[in-house]
Amino acid sequence: MTGIERTGHDGPYPAPVEVTGLTVLPQWIDLNGHMNVGYYGIAFDEAADVLFIEHLGIGGAYIEAAGQGPFVLQSHTLFLNELREAEAFRVAFRLVDHDHKRMHFFGEMIREADGVLCATQEVVSMNVDHGTRRSAAYPDWIVARLARMKADHAGLPASPHIGAPIGLRR
């Protein structure tokens, strides 16, 4: 897998990595007058694309050239506060853990007007070869970037939402 043009950078990485300039679009509003549950997933995914492209270098160009890329294995979204039409928000990401094939990252969706945490999303993804449709190790340069990002994020305060259980609490 040589000759792949690298995007992103080798760090240091902001702690957390913040994706700004996001706005709730009119078509994302449901009958309750707030952002529909499905669009939170889209917003987190589009923000994660910025993390992958601009920082880690595992976005579309890498995927096309390498014939492999990250597939989501598990995702957990926690809805804490409403977002309404035209409200600006940002997403702050941290890399919680990784190995040579997988990443565990956590995003916080924060309303710009008042800094209120509106939603979180915790994701585990795995690098998958598009030819075999099986897991594949990331190249060493990506594993090195993941290690650097994890180290840069190690000092972030713990979040009570990482590993949050789901179920009825009694």
The residues, any chain, with a CB within 8 Å of residue 167's CB and separated by 6 or more, are none
pLDDT for residue 29 is more than 70: yes
Whose CA is closest to 15, among 125, 133, 117, 108?
Answer: 108
Q: Please, which pLDDT band fits residue 4 given cuts at 50, 70 and 90?
A: confident
Q: What digits encode the pLDDT tens for the residues 100-115?
A: 999 999 999 999 999 9
pLDDT for residue 150 is more than 90: yes
For domain 17-153, the CATH superfamily is Hotdog Thioesterase (3.10.129.10)
Mean pLDDT across 158-162: 95
Query: Mean pLDDT across the chain, nearest whole number?
Result: 96
Residue 85 Cα distances to 44, 73, 92, 132, angstroms? 17, 30, 20, 42
Give the tokens for residue 159. 């979040």
Give the tokens for residue 52. 């992958």
pLDDT for residue 1 is more than 60: no
